[in-house]
Amino acid sequence: MVNILAFCVFTLSFVGSSYTTNVVAISRDCGGYMFVGDSVVIDGPLKKNCILKFKTQEDRILVFSLIDGNFKEAEQYFSIHDGIDGDSPILLVENQKLSEVSRKDLPASVYSTQSTASIRFKKTASANFKLKIQKAVNCPFNLGSASQCGRVVDQVSCYCATFIKRNQSDQTMFCVDNGMKLIAFESQAEEGLIQST
């Protein structure tokens, strides 16, 4: 008997679509509110006391990463908050949940727990850096001991492997019940990447 390893995917549909990134230059006044459709890149200069607020669609979260920079060093200039209220908690790289099956070579990132977040700049940056904000799916960590989930392809999607033998119909329903879909690999390279992780 052949064991079948089923993969569910909770992903954003970028394959075959035109994936766009908006680059936003911060105005002299600073501050503002932005809706994140796919992704936004904030390109400084970043000024002290500037507050930027972000929102994406209700069933998604936000992920923050630095393009060509060290996130830990950049956090001396700004803090990322989980929500847009004044008392929203600070999100830190070291406090993020990392699934054991997430790729370790993905850039250091900070994930919100809701569809809104804000950035508050503590001091003016001594050098320009680009901060990328993306819409992401929430990766579940509670599907049970017979499942493993992680960010194995990119920072915005989530793959879950289930190790319980089910027929295709039952496996499809398990994925749907958990807000995902059963994956059909599009290429041997994609399957290899996921299997190796």
- Compute the average pLDDT of residues 113-120: 93
pTM summary value: 0.79
Single out the residue of 54, 56, 60 nearest to residue 12, CA to CA.
60
Residues in the chain, total: 197
Q: What is the pLDDT of residue 148?
A: 84
pLDDT of residue 25: 47
pLDDT of 39 strictly over 80: yes
Span 21-136: which CATH code? 2.60.120.290
Whether residue 146 has pLDDT greater than 50? yes
Domain extents in the chain: 6-13+139-196, 21-136
In the predicted structure, residue 109 carries a pLDDT above the cut 90: no
Kindly state the average pLDDT of the residues 136-149: 83
